[in-house]
A and B are shown apart, each in its own frame.
Chain A
């Protein structure tokens, strides 16, 4: 009896001790990460269709590419090896040969990544039926496997950034041929890549769960499990973060949000590229804007720094050039005019408008654009320019400005950080709104066509950059558009969560998780 009581007591004590000491193992650094995303659900995890911010963020964890942007950077100059160990280009820049890293494994036992997979994947990327980004690959003539670890890509014409097309972004992601053929349509929710994390399960509208790819070629990820929660409601996401339910969450580019979030101890906020460059595009063919002096007056009248300050200096800064600052070859010496209302007035008087001018602008009712328009209105008034705003619902506004219905267009955008994209779409004469080849050239600008085209086919990268810089200077000098602000996106996180790299930018538009991401303790 006594013995049995003793045993029982010992047992109880043992259980109590176990309970009491149970937290001990948990004191080791946490390895399970929970994120709160500003998204309602998974759209499509086939990387060649993933277009929403949230989907792009996720496919960047699952998939790899031939080459990759350095984690935390959107600078094309940072592109380095990923699956490809080395590469070389022919002298004319049209034939590129990539040597693959041996032994890289697909998730879930789909075997080694071979040249066949790369050929299959890039052919899929440029097939409009199987990819949303096929347009970017129009210049690819042929992708061939020379041997299981060598791929040769032949271009029919020069493209501004070959590595950009093959990096871990959009059509550059590589999918497993075997898995894609096996899974067919279900691949979009059940994808197979060779990145550091793989999909475990998806609870529609609630969360997507990921586990570490222990065989990742750069090493076993420090995190074991990721829960990506869909918290599209701003207030709910905020509360979840403040309550500690999620370790990091998508933020708002709003001063007051920042204040509220940073007031919480142990919180850090990351703001990252690509920044959206907001510009005021001026139709140079419509009077009175056909007079350069009037356009210059407008440029002197606006104050980008004040608008950036209004949005919040932590994530917004004054624009300086005709392309966003993370673009290759960006120059802050493009000649953007300083804020000087007196000079603006003098220029207007010189142009024959001593009493100032009155202009009308179609204005989107999207709150972020509407507020900037109202600040512009007030800034221009100081220089004697009356800006009448004609507010239009955002979707209608998008259509109307493409029909050339507004001489002034306030537009914010980020593009792939090779200037050819931004410059071509906004400032090349082929892209003028109303033309059959129209994109988003609202200003009818055609002054930098030559430089843009020359840069596109230039082999020497230094000369290419010089052309792009010349284009920026010409466009800003002719005041086709006035750079206003550059605004980055933001995420809040617990300070203990370490991305494993300096988080300054993300081509996937959200935090990149790598094998290095961990919780410090």
Chain B
């Protein structure tokens, strides 16, 4: 073990990067993965697990306490909170995954090209990224959604847009670190094209770092989506979103706190899971960071 820890992962052959780092995941990462897996399964099997239709109102049962017919209680319209949480998981996960996938692909591409080519292209691309980065991500997301309207696609675009510069930055730095290594020079010597070197040989080496970024940003994406819904820029009612449920629960927080409590806990769990995974991945890639913390 000590041998592995003292060894910098980037010094291993790039092709072994992914495999060696997966084997180094610690307990909290595994816990994070387990929670995430559970939530993903809950979202997939929402129709089977739900006890009610998520938008089915029953005004007689408004604000029903947890237990009995309603596992986690009912909201102000008598809608089952448990069922709404399950369906809400779909939106949180879909929006989080899609937004970060787009940001990852786009941002990494921009960053890699900028880092590999350097010069004017680097300056222009990274200046653009810096401008976006200068805005607080929630404010930027808020402006975009307010401008385009609150649909799943638009929320995904807004979050992806705010997350892209982070990936560009990290990809650029990683590529610059790899650019002058022997294996890259060897590729050049063999006459490989720039694109081939960049995407076939350098990409696998820098992927772990990007993945860490992705899981940490996934947490941010979930939080941003929930925040947007909380301030009323989420998907239109009666769509069950966790942020929207907290928002509606807020009106009755004095008399029935369970309305806001359960969706808040769901958001907490998902964000925590992504953060645990992200932290674990980072430790696995760069053990020195773990020692520092």
Q: Which A positions have Cβ atoms within 8 angstroms of B?
A: 235, 256, 260, 306, 309-310, 363, 365, 367, 370-371, 373-375, 377-378, 388-391, 393
Do A309 and B59 touch (CB < 8 A)? yes
Do A378 and B237 touch (CB < 8 A)? no
Do B59 and A306 touch (CB < 8 A)? yes
B151 to chain A, nearest CB (A): 10
B238 at the interface (CB under 8 A from A): yes
Known: A309-B59, A371-B77, A375-B77. 20 other contacts (CB 8 A): A235-B254, A256-B255, A306-B59, A310-B59, A310-B62, A370-B237, A374-B238, A375-B57, A375-B59, A378-B55, A378-B56, A378-B57, A378-B238, A390-B149, A390-B236, A391-B150, A391-B232, A391-B236, A391-B237, A393-B232
B264 at the interface (CB under 8 A from A): no
30 residue pairs A–B, Cβ–Cβ below 8 Å = A235-B254, A256-B63, A256-B255, A260-B255, A306-B59, A310-B59, A310-B62, A363-B236, A365-B232, A367-B251, A371-B76, A371-B77, A373-B237, A374-B57, A374-B237, A374-B238, A377-B237, A378-B55, A378-B56, A378-B57, A378-B77, A378-B238, A388-B236, A389-B236, A389-B237, A390-B149, A390-B236, A391-B150, A391-B236, A391-B237
B252 at the interface (CB under 8 A from A): yes
**Complex Cα spacing A306 to B78, Å:** 13
B20 to chain A, nearest CB (A): 49
* Contact bitstring B34-71, A, C-beta under 8 A = 1, else 0: 00000000000000000000011101001100000000
B59 to chain A, nearest CB (A): 5
**Complex Cα spacing A102 to B172, Å:** 91
Q: Taking CB as reference atom, which chain A residue is nearest B254?
A: A235
**Complex Cα spacing A309 to B60, Å:** 10
Residue of A235, A306, A310 with highest tally of chain B CB at under 10 A: A310
Interface residues of A, dominant DSSP = helix
**Complex Cα spacing A260 to B256, Å:** 13
When A and B form their complex, which 6 residue pairs have the shortest distance between CB atoms, in order from nearest?
Answer: A378-B57, A256-B255, A365-B232, A389-B236, A374-B237, A310-B59
Interface size class of B (residues with CB under 8 A): 10 to 19
**Complex Cα spacing A378 to B62, Å:** 14
Q: Taking CB as reference atom, which chain B residue is nearest A235?
A: B254
Do B238 and A256 touch (CB < 8 A)? no
**Complex Cα spacing A365 to B55, Å:** 18
A29 to chain B, nearest CB (A): 35
Task: List, in ascending order, chain A residues with CB within 8 A of B56's CB.
Answer: 378
**Complex Cα spacing A256 to B62, Å:** 11
A230 to chain B, nearest CB (A): 22
User: Among residues 194 to 253 in chain B, which have CB atoms less than 8 Å away from a CB atom of chain A?
Assistant: 232, 236-238, 251-252
Task: List, in ascending order, chain A residues with CB within 8 A of B57's CB.
Answer: 374-375, 378
Task: List, in ascending order, chain B residues with CB within 8 A of A388's CB.
Answer: 236
B138 to chain A, nearest CB (A): 17
Task: List, in ascending order, chain B residues with CB within 8 A of A374's CB.
Answer: 57, 77, 237-238
Do A256 and B77 touch (CB < 8 A)? no
Q: Taking CB as reference atom, which chain B residue is nearest A396?
A: B146
Task: List, in ascending order, chain A residues with CB within 8 A of B232's CB.
Answer: 365, 391, 393
**Complex Cα spacing A458 to B232, Å:** 49
**Complex Cα spacing A222 to B200, Å:** 93
B11 to chain A, nearest CB (A): 54
Task: List, in ascending order, chain B residues with CB within 8 A of A306's CB.
Answer: 59
**Complex Cα spacing A500 to B291, Å:** 78
**Complex Cα spacing A388 to B238, Å:** 9
Task: List, in ascending order, chain A residues with CB within 8 A of B150's CB.
Answer: 391
* Contact bitstring B60-97, A, C-beta under 8 A = 1, else 0: 00110000000000001100000000000000000000
A103 to chain B, nearest CB (A): 53
